[in-house]
Amino acid sequence: MLRRIGVAAAFLLAALLPASAHHGWGSYDAGKMVTVEGKIVTTRYENPHVTLTVEAQDKTWTLTLAPVSRMRNRGATEELVAPGKVITAVGYVSTRDPDELRAERITVDGKTIEMR
Amino acid sequence: MALEAPAILVALEQSALGTAIRQSVWIYPAANTVHILGLTLLAASVAVMDLRLLGAFKETVPAAVIVPARRLAMLALTIMVLTGLVLFTAEATHVAMNPVFQIKMGLIGLAILNALVVQRTLPAVLIKSPAMTPLPTRFRIAAAISLAIWFCVAAAGRLIAYF
């Protein structure tokens, strides 16, 4: 009885693990790297993810960056991504919101910082 | 685009509390971590409780396993609700409109309902249930349902971030 439940549970876990191995790219188009460059308009330096709005040539983007603690640890302080700064972000576009970019790395003031 | 969230959720998210949770470096990750610690405790205690109902550990007296496991499960559920409220407040509008979150809440409701129904008649049965004797079928069915629902609740919780 217990063994059968154990086997069933192991199968279920195995089926779920690939999806949760890391905070995945499910709702982002991981097949296409997109670069967004522009001026930061607003900064929300908040958990669970820091978000910026950036005025690029084509449109206003919403950039999703890392959690606050990681941003700080890597030197991406609130001052570095303050409104008015020029930012270059490379990342993947949301499959649900064509104006949202999930940044893999950002470059501000000549500093390039990884977000993952 | 998603439907608009009810005004009360907008107010909750934009409240001083919601802002404080988001702006703190540690509150959100701490709530997130304790939420998962609560999950491990809940999953463990629910598994022990439900497996005993199903007939595992049959050398033990059912009440000696089920009663303390149930108490632990309720403590774990309390931890999860409290930390869950912190996580929810930070992103109330997004989360509430998330289909997987809605499924998760529905499943939790079902799991609690199942537990309440079981609890109406189980204590009287447990008092006279010795070791090595299967419990009535209706409790074993309820235990299997409980295990399945809580498994799905955990899976849904993890999947909120992907939908």
Q: What is the percent of chain A with per-residue pLDDT over 90, rounded to a whole number? A: 72
Q: Is residue B51 part of a domain?
A: yes
Contact status, residue A35 vs residue A107, Cβ threshold 8 Å:
no
Q: What is the percent of chain B with per-residue pLDDT over 90, rounded to a whole number? A: 95
**What percent of chain A is helix, strand and coil (3-state, nearest 5)?**
20, 40, 40
Q: Is residue B113 part of a domain?
A: yes
A99 to A73, A89, B81: CA distances (angstroms): 27, 13, 34
Does A12 score more than 70 pLDDT?
Answer: no
Contact status, residue A16 vs residue B153, Cβ threshold 8 Å:
no
Q: Is residue B1 part of a domain?
A: no
Does A25 score more than 80 pLDDT?
Answer: no
| Total count of domains within chain B | 1
The answer to whether A1 contacts B27, with C-beta atoms less than 8 Å apart, is no
* Chain A contact set for B32 (CB, 8 A): 48
Which one is predicted more confidently, B137 or A24? B137
Q: Is residue B23 part of a domain?
A: yes
Token pair belonging to A57 = 């040539």
Q: Which domains does chain A have, with CATH numbers?
A: 24-114 (2.40.50.1010)
Q: Is residue B52 part of a domain?
A: yes
Q: Which amino acid is at B92?
A: A
Domain encompassing residue B39: 7-162
Contact status, residue A100 vs residue A64, Cβ threshold 8 Å:
yes
The answer to whether B158 contacts A20, with C-beta atoms less than 8 Å apart, is yes
pLDDT of residue A11: 66
pLDDT tens column, B104-129: 999 999 999 999 999 999 999 999 99
ipTM rounded to 2 decimals: 0.80
Answer whether A17 touches B (CB < 8 Å).
Answer: no
> How far from the centroid of its chain's Cα atoms is residue B17's Cα?
24
pLDDT tens column, A26-43: 788 989 999 999 999 999
Distance separating alpha carbons of residues A56 and A65, to the nearest angstrom: 17
Q: How confident is the model at residue A53 (pLDDT cuts 50, 70, 90)?
A: very high
pLDDT of residue A6: 72
Q: Is residue B2 part of a domain?
A: no
Token pair belonging to A22 = 């890391």
